[in-house]
Amino acid sequence: MGDILHYRFPNKEKVHVTGFFTEVAAEIPENSFVVSDFKGLRWYSFVPSSSDSIFHSENKLPLIISKENYIKQAIEIVQELNTTALEKVVYSRIKEAAIKTTDYKQLFDELCDRYPSTLVYLISSPKFGTWMGASPEQLIGFENGNGSTTALAGTKKFDDSTPWENKEQTEQAIVTGYLLEQLHSLTIPIKEINGPNEFQAGPVKHLKTTIQFTSNVISPIKIAKQLHPTPAVSGYPKQDALSYLSKIEAHNRFLYSGIIGFYSSENTQLYVNLRCCQLEEDRAFIYLGGGFTKDSIPLKEWEETENKSKTLLNILQNP
């Protein structure tokens, strides 16, 4: 039995394909839908075929931590940020939730209706199980030599009209600075920088900066690999943050905060895999992250992840 791929880019038509996800050992094939794990160590490319398809189970349930343990770890993270060279750490957790239906295709359609400005997808393979998401964060958009990338960081509830605090502005500035730094390291010319501006993503809103650039020499997939994982999903400095996360995150992120989307040398749309969940029968395991700086308040970081979970919960549990 084959694998499943449903996706819809912002304000585009839905695409429904059957076939197989294959693990890519070296060069990422062009003109294909691709997905990677968080650290970019495993890449999967979808090969269409006219096969029957079923939804697959991962058979390995993710680790859930309690609020108490989250807060305890969060306190230690803030202490680390105040006593070391680390400037930001994105600590993640997993929330388990019952779902209203096992008709995953229905849930995909409802996500498309609710969030027209996100990449919405539903994928299933025995290689990684069944995943669904609605990501607002474009890593690379590329067409005919013109490209863009997005710094999306800092989070508040969508109806919070108070000024953005220094903590959120610092988060956003770190991500923007990192992206510019990486593009400069590839000698890619910057055309324009727009932002930061408020950007609503379902039940939350973020600070967003869009960076436009040109590149006729370096492939968009190479640029994406250079940028990812950005401080929006890992931290800064990146290698120090990744090393620290490997010590404190007891769960495997799997596909959460990896790269997902369509790749070709002429037209690429690659997103960071956020606001996503792993589906297992009548349950969803929602992956959630929060950006910590030295000014973070642990309880507020927990509440931020709870607010982010509503992007999917509003669909998964809507009666």
For 283-294, what is the mean pLDDT?
Answer: 95
Residue 156 pLDDT level (bands cut at 50, 70, 90): confident
pLDDT, the chain, mean: 93
With 80 as the cut, is the pLDDT of residue 171 above it?
yes
Instruction: Give the integer Cα–Cα distance in Å for 319 and 308.
Output: 20
Range 4-31 average pLDDT: 93
* Token duo for residue 302: 């927990």
CA-CA distance, 7 to 23, in Å (whole number)? Answer: 19
CA angle 197, 198, 204 (to 5 degrees): 155
pLDDT higher than 60, residue 319: no
pLDDT digits (tens, 9 = 90+) for 63-82: 999 999 999 999 999 999 99
Tell me the C-alpha distance between 252 and 61, whole Å.
10
135 pLDDT band, cuts 50/70/90, is very high
Residues 51, 258: Cα–Cα separation, whole Å: 27
Confidence of residue 90 (pLDDT cuts 50, 70, 90): very high
Q: Which amino acid is at 245?
A: L
- pLDDT of 85 above 60: yes
pLDDT digits (tens, 9 = 90+) for 220-247: 999 999 999 999 999 999 999 999 999 9
Q: How confident is the model at residue 282 (pLDDT cuts 50, 70, 90)?
A: confident
Check residue 259 and give its pLDDT.
Answer: 98
Q: Which domains does the chain have, with CATH numbers?
A: 3-316 (3.60.120.10)
Helices (H), 119-252: 166-185, 220-227, 238-248
> Residue 195 in contact with residue 151, Cβ under 8 Å?
yes
Contact between 157 and 174 (Cβ < 8 Å): no
> Cα 264 from chain centroid?
20
**Structural tokens at position 105:** 């295709």
Region at 255 (left for phi over 0; alpha for psi -120 to 50; beta for the rest): alpha
Other CB atoms within a 10 A radius of the CB of residue 310 amount to 18
What is the spatial distance between Cα 252 and Cα 250, in angstroms, rounded to a whole number? 7
pTM of the model: 0.95
pLDDT-derived band at 144 (thresholds 50, 70, 90) equals confident
Q: In this prediction, what percent of the chain has a pLDDT beyond 70? A: 99
- The predicted pLDDT at position 13 comes to 95
Q: What are phi and psi of 31, to 5 degrees?
A: 55, 45
d(CA 213, CA 273): 22
**C-alpha span between 245 and 34 (Å, rounded):** 25
CA dist 230 and 177 (Å) reads 10
Residue 237 is classified by DSSP as S
Higher per-residue pLDDT: 276 or 60 = 276
Task: Annotate 97-125 with b (16+ C-beta within 10 A) or e (fewer).
Answer: eebeeeebeebbbbbbebbeebbbbbbbb
Predicted confidence band of residue 292 (pLDDT cuts 50, 70, 90): very high
Contact 313, 286 (CB under 8 A): yes
pLDDT band at 53 (very low <50, low <70, confident <90, very high): confident
Nearest to 229 by CA among 275, 265, 175: 175
Segment 195-214 shows an average pLDDT of 90
Alpha-carbon span 253 to 271, nearest angstrom: 16
Residue 310 neighbours by CB under 8 Å, 6+ apart: 202, 203, 204
- In the structure, what pLDDT confidence band is assigned to residue 266 with cuts at 50, 70 and 90? confident
- The total of other beta-carbon atoms located within 10 Å of residue 301's CB is 23
- pLDDT for position 289: 96
Chain-centre distance of CA 93, in angstroms? 13
